[in-house]
Structure 1
Amino acid sequence: MKRGAPGKAQSSFDEFEATELYCVQCRRAVPVKKSLLLVLPEGDKYEYRCAFCGNTVGDKIDRNVEPFGVLST
């Protein structure tokens, strides 16, 4: 098995993507649905909702987006 050079940190992932989170209303870990909530200058804000009851169980700001300029027609 080939390993990275000693002394260099190697990233094993870019970012986490939630598939299940704890829902207070359902009182257990549940599958979640991710939806875009806001487009902000610092990144896109996503909201995670319970797949069963629709309760908000978390959010995330994706800072890996490129800034957009003025749209041309």
Structure 2
Amino acid sequence: MSESFKEFEASSLFCPRCRQATAVRKKLLLVLPTGNKYDYTCSVCGSAVGGKTDNDATDFYTTPAPPVRRAKPPRLG
């Protein structure tokens, strides 16, 4: 049997603050070696209503390291 769905994306979730199902915004919280962690927030009030962790670690291994910053020499005045 083939897979019908590989992954679900929430478009609306119940918000306890609004006391109804509302549209949600998906925010990337962390890029981890095991996958990405997302947070779903209510589009009306902004409170957190859920979360998701996927198992795709490609973003972790393709993220470039930050550039090395050199210390500035002291100013002689």
Q: TM-score, normalising length from structure 2?
A: 0.75
Q: Which stretch has the larger CA shift, 61-70 or 10-19?
A: 61-70
* Code of the aligned partner of 2:11: T
Listed as ranges, the matches of 1:51-66 within 5 Å are 51-66=43-58
Which contiguous aligned blocks of 4+ residues in structure 1 show a shift greater than 6 angstroms? none
Identical aligned pairs, as a percentage?
A: 46
Aligned residues: 65
Kindly indicate which of the two structures has a greater share of residues assigned to helix: 2
Q: For structure 2, list consecutive stretches of 5 or more residues without a partner in the other structure.
A: 68-77
Q: Which stretch has the larger CA shift, 63-72 or 11-20?
A: 63-72
Q: TM-score, normalising length from structure 1?
A: 0.78
Number of the residue aligned with 2:3: 11
Q: For structure 1, list consecutive stretches of 5 or more residues without a partner in the other structure.
A: 1-8
Number of the residue aligned with 1:6: none
Match for residue 68 of structure 1 among 53, 61, 64: 61
